[in-house]
Chains A and B, each alone.
Chain A
Amino acid sequence: MIDQSIASLAKKLRDKEISSVELTQDYLARIKQYDGQLNSYITITEEIALAQAEAADKQLAQGAASPLTGLPIAHKDLFCTDGILTTCASKMLHNFVPPYESTVTGRMLASGTVTLGKTNMDEFAMGSSNEKSYYGAVKNPWNLDKVPGGSSGGSAAAVAAGLCVAATGTDTGGSIRQPASFCGITGLKPTYGRVSRFGMIAYASSLDQAGPMARSAEDCAHILQSIAGFDANDSTSAEVDTEDYTANLDAPLTGLTIGLPKEYFGDGLNNDVASAIQEAVKEFEKLGATVKDISLPNLNLSIPSYYVIAPSEASSNLSRFDGVRYGYRCEEPKDLMDMYKRSRGEAFGKEVQKRIMVGTYALSEGYYDAYYLKAQRIRRLIKEDFVKAFEEVDVIMGPVAPTTAFGIGAKTDDPIAMYLEDIYTLSVNLAGIPAMSVPAGFADGMPVGLQIMGNYFSEAKLLNVAHKFQQATDWHTKNPSLVEGA
């Protein structure tokens, strides 16, 4: 069953080959069977899921179904879900039950999806390995000794292991694409503003963007169709019309110009990853695309720029977690200052505390110009690099990450090595453009992700490019041995 696409499952549901309740029970059983090893879920909402499945079956019986009706999915645990624990994988929110629904989860519910639960992640979406969760590390289904990537590691692992049909993720510096790459699934980070941030617990507001994580580009298109579009509750959501994201998936790629930035193929890129990407590019040439060498000269500046801007915004965004109104409050505070210090000191993990401190420092009087303003200037340069590149090419391709999934604990003592993991993904967030990770082979038995970057609001084009590749290759259909035979 886990090999099925959204389209084929939807057909089976409509044809009454299977009911949503049966499908949901299958997935719940799989979660019980496998998630003890993977730890991809923080909360499993069995009762809610079965109730939603029953409702979906009624809708299906009435013939009023959307392509997503009755499909069991999972949400990253930073989308507020009305009445369902939402932790951000932090002790700070270990008891937080939101009184409202985020726009993303609300739109998915309106499309008739069944919520299996909330997936694990790096605490407050800060991390590239999913080792920084209050609820413990997530394991990569392809090799339980390896990380699944982060911060949407729980969603990626759950999709790869067939513990949900698809999942939502968020991407601030690569948090959809890198775990998608590490777990061999397809992930899309839309254009900044394409998907509403309302109800999404903020890490870095000017970079955060929600998107789908699924087994194929086609599945991603169905999810994006549900969640994309202007939302009056989010002032930064774009008043740009959505497209029919499945309509042109099969459009031929003849005449497509692919840019290959030389900076994405330099030092630090693992040789096996490089070959997998080059093979994938050849596949596109077979499909009629032409390749052009380009340059994104400021790529190296994306790491320092990102690691000033994101922590700066985070230091402010996370100020609301003060023990006053919700979430964790320390025992027996002596006074107000003691309450602030101990509540935050006891409930935020080390990585979160580090980024709050870095951001607080960068915004301080006397340092603001040297750090924050300079980082914003670099951000403009990075954006201009992309704008210039898209005058010559339709899409840009390269690796998602310099390596495949690394070992659990391998980089926890080396934060710089961990931050370098994000070198190919950060600039996309800084520029605000959309990008995908698409399975493109294996290196040492672990999946390799091809990154496809597009111009602003070109999601339909990206999905078309990725879909054509998936029609020609079978990398996205491979399953980890852990779950094979399911």
Chain B
Amino acid sequence: MPIVDVKKLTKQYPAKNFSKDKITALNNFSLQVEPGSIFGLLGPNGAGKTTLVKILLGITFPTSGEVNIFEKPVTDISYKFKVGYLPENHRFPNYLSGEQVLSYYGRMSGMADKEVKIKIPEMLSLVGMSDWAKTKIKKYSKGMMQRLGLAQAMINSPELIFLDEPTDGVDPIGRKEIRDILLNLKNEGKTIFLNSHLLSEIELVCDKVAILDKGTLVKMGSVEEITSGEDSYLFHTNDLTDSLVNDLILKFKVVMHGKNEFSYATSSIEDVNNILDFLRSEKVLIFGFNKEKTSLEDMFINIIGKQTVN
């Protein structure tokens, strides 16, 4: 049974300019998350990712559709005993120290005093913040706040953890540490729902990925499934004119990497020949082209680009 089960979910907000029109944040959206997996949610800004997470946590209410977590509707708050959440740009009372923040949110999660006292040093050590336990959080850097936020999301030993941009503001070593924590949690059988702009990170840790654009689910599957459908070709040419670059983007949805290099994703060898014909007809000098493994980033840009053009 899926741990998160969303069926035909729609969320509309009233427009702000007193018009009768409504803004659709999520449009007839369905997805399932299996227990013990890391699920990645991708999408450009305003795609509806945070709205979806907020609905799953009962922070925002759906307009229509069905949302069940641990086989219970989200209106039944008892599921929250088994859930942890790190929101994007979280804000904790800045007069508290790191350990006081964990103590406060641990108790708010329904933990007993004794249990909280045992878990605080464990969590602080896990996120590398033991030395800062007694320091007021107003002195913390962005990366330290992020680590503390992660500890807060894990303090009640949740079975399902929602993380919204968990590595935001964290240095590369910290990111690696957070990735390791996520993989350890997965090995312990926990389920992680991850919202991130960092596609390379999603690619490294997620078992399943959903791509969301303008409130619509565009694609869902494992990273392999999403990236295996098409091959990517990297072209090296002479410097291209602006009008030629525009033509390439519009006709072939290429991704430019400078004036003389671009990627082209396709599953058809005929398309490769077509783009070669086009380049030759425009008298472009082709220095070479290589077939590459399609990254999630290429695929994401390709899919979102197509959606935008459509």
Partners in one complex: no
Instruction: List residues of chain A with CB under 8 Å of any chain B CB.
Output: none
Instruction: List residues of chain B with CB under 8 Å of any chain A CB.
Output: none
